[in-house]
């Protein structure tokens, strides 16, 4: 069984449905980001001739293109996904070489945790990066994709060897993702940090950029998003940098569509035992993603659209506990993993990682709520925060029981009884 199926098998009905809704929320948020990214890419590639709302509508087409590829099988899709990742690595790598950031400072920032003059805004961006890199629904996706490999699961040696290669595959994928994100962050930091709107307006105006009006003629510090980033690259490093940046964003959006569609399929089938066609699944998530994005694109400006993208990154980070806690819980259960159960190092390391993510999210929520200026918003935010923390606490409680802290299990009948609460209740066997 993959992770969603194990959750269906062990969690009670109400927590299982809530957990499914949280994962679906992450998937829809990811799809909205794909729509935003593709709309921005089309706008940049067409030099503004395709409006943002037009780019949003064009993303409907890639839905059908993806469904067309689906009939050729999973391996072909994996190859296409690899092509998209290669395009991202090449395009963002080109930007990295063109900008040429200071390598010593880059390595220092990579290995020495510090941030001079950082505040809530910078923290929100950091939380967003975590959510953008480690999307929670992708954890469910990878746990399901390994089932497509031909492995004799009755053979201990074959399973052990398969785990080794799955580990190598995951490490390579994460390393490539890490490099791509290093390229993007380093390019923005080196090229745009500390610049003013007036300085950027002057440079863009001199190069004849049609987007120079994006930057007011004042001495305020420049604020950059994925749209302005492409414009600035074109102003400072030539039109080729702008178009290559747009192609990279487009490739990232398409890869997000693929992962979101497949993870949504596995999540729905695993949690609810529903068998929807991928066509119906894609149409549902894309409709939910396009509607609010299209409204913002029509009635608001690019700042609101990119601001929505930043918020969605943070949303992904807030959803991370709903993937990390279940996977640590069930990989620590001998009844699920048998001899491949987590050891002490994995239990402690995984627990500390989850605790760190939860603390970061909690701090961000506090900062976000204190920035509100309405009593009603305070009330709504407080209710959402309490609900969120309560459910995370519930999952963490079950996780601690699975990690071996049996004193937290009210169903333990004797000191020698190490049975786990979530394995004893009959409703978990549904």
CA–CA gap between residue 53 and residue 37 (Å, rounded): 12
Q: Who has greater pLDDT, 286 or 249?
A: 249
pLDDT in tens, 1-14: 788 888 888 888 89
| Structural domains of the chain, count | 1
Task: Pick the closest to residue 47 from 232, 209, 228, 235 (CA basis).
Answer: 209
CA–CA gap between residue 290 and residue 244 (Å, rounded): 25
CA–CA gap between residue 213 and residue 29 (Å, rounded): 30
Name the β-bridge partners of 196. Answer: 221
pLDDT at 19: 92
Q: Is 196 helix (H, G, I), strand (E, B) or coil?
A: strand
Based on the number of CB atoms within 10 Å of its own CB, is 369 exposed (0-12), middle (13-18) or buried (19 or more)? middle
Percent of the chain scored above 70 by pLDDT? 82
What is the band of 124 on the pLDDT scale with cuts at 50, 70, 90? low
CA–CA gap between residue 336 and residue 327 (Å, rounded): 11
In a domain? residue 209: yes
pLDDT at 73: 66
Q: How large is the average pLDDT for residues 385-408?
A: 86
Question: Which residues contact residue 222 at a Cβ distance below 8 angstroms, ignoring those fewer than 6 apart?
Answer: 192, 195, 196, 197, 199, 200, 215
In a domain? residue 249: yes
Average pLDDT along the chain: 79
Spell 227-264 as b/e; 16+ CB within 10 A means b. Answer: bbbbbbbbbbbeeebbbbbbbbbbbbbbbbbbbbbbbb
What CA–CA distances, in Å, run from 263 to 2, 21, 174, 180?
Answer: 11, 13, 17, 22
Residue 127 sits in which domain range? 3-300
For residues 179 and 95, the answer to whether their CB atoms sit within 8 Å is: no
Least confident of 60-69, 143-152, 326-335: 60-69
pLDDT in tens, 167-225: 888 888 778 888 888 888 888 888 888 788 888 888 888 888 877 777 888 888 887 77
pTM of the model: 0.79
pLDDT at 421: 44
In a domain? residue 330: no
In a domain? residue 420: no
Give yes or no for residue 105 having a pLDDT over 90: no
CA–CA gap between residue 65 and residue 67 (Å, rounded): 5
In a domain? residue 46: yes
In a domain? residue 141: yes
Give yes or no for residue 123 having a pLDDT over 80: no
What is the band of 281 on the pLDDT scale with cuts at 50, 70, 90? low
pLDDT at 131: 59
In a domain? residue 203: yes
pLDDT in tens, 346-383: 888 888 988 887 887 777 777 767 776 777 878 888 88
CA–CA gap between residue 199 and residue 50 (Å, rounded): 27
CA–CA gap between residue 11 and residue 31 (Å, rounded): 27
Percent of the chain scored above 90 by pLDDT? 3
Q: Is 221 helix (H, G, I), strand (E, B) or coil?
A: strand
pLDDT at 18: 93
pLDDT at 418: 40
In a domain? residue 296: yes
């Amino acid at each position: 069984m993959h992770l969603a199926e194990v959750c269906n098998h062990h969690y009670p009905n109400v927590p299982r449905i809530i957990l499914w809704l949280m994962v679906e929320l992450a998937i829809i948020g990811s799809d909205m980001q794909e729509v935003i990214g593709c709309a921005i890419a089309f706008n940049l590639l067409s030099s503004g001739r395709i409006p943002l709302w037009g780019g949003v509508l064009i993303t409907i087409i890639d839905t059908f293109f993806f469904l067309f590829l689906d009939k050729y099988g999973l391996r072909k899709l994996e190859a296409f996904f690899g092509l998209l990742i290669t395009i991202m690595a090449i395009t963002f790598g080109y930007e990295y070489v063109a900008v040429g950031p200071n390598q010593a400072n880059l390595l220092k920032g990579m290995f020495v945790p510090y941030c001079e003059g950082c505040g809530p805004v910078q923290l929100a961006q950091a939380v967003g990066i975590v959510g953008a890199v480690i999307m929670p629904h992708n954890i469910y996706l990878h746990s399901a994709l390994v089932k497509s490999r031909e492995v004799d699961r009755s053979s201990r040696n074959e399973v052990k060897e398969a785990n080794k290669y799955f580990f190598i595959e995951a490490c390579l994928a994460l390393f490539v993702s890490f490099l791509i994100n290093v390229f993007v962050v380093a390019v923005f930091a080196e090229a745009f940090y500390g610049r003013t709107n007036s300085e950027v307006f002057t440079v863009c105006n001199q190069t004849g950029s049609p987007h120079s009006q994006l930057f007011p003629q004042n001495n305020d510090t420049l604020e950059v998003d994925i749209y302005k980033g492409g414009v600035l690259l074109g102003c400072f490093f030539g039109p080729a940098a702008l178009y290559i940046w747009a192609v990279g964003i487009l490739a990232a959006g398409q890869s997000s569509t693929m992962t979101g569609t497949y993870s949504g399929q596995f999540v729905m089938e695993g949690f609810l035992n529903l068998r929807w066609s991928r066509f119906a699944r894609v149409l549902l998530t894309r409709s939910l993603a396009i509607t609010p994005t299209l409204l913002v694109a029509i009635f608001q400006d690019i700042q609101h659209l990119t601001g929505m993208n930043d918020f969605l990154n943070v949303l992904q980070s807030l959803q991370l506990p709903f993937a990390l806690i279940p996977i640590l819980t069930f990989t620590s259960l001998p009844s699920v993993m048998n001899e491949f159960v987590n050891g002490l190092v994995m239990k402690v390391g995984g627990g500390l990682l989850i605790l760190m993510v939860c603390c970061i999210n909690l701090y961000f929520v506090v900062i976000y709520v204190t920035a509100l200026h309405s009593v009603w918003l305070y009330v709504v935010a407080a209710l959402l925060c309490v609900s969120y923390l309560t459910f995370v606490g519930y999952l963490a409680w079950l996780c601690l029981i699975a990690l071996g802290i049996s004193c937290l299990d009210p169903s333990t009948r004797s000191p020698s009884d190490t049975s786990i609460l979530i394995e004893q209740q009959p409703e978990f066997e549904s």
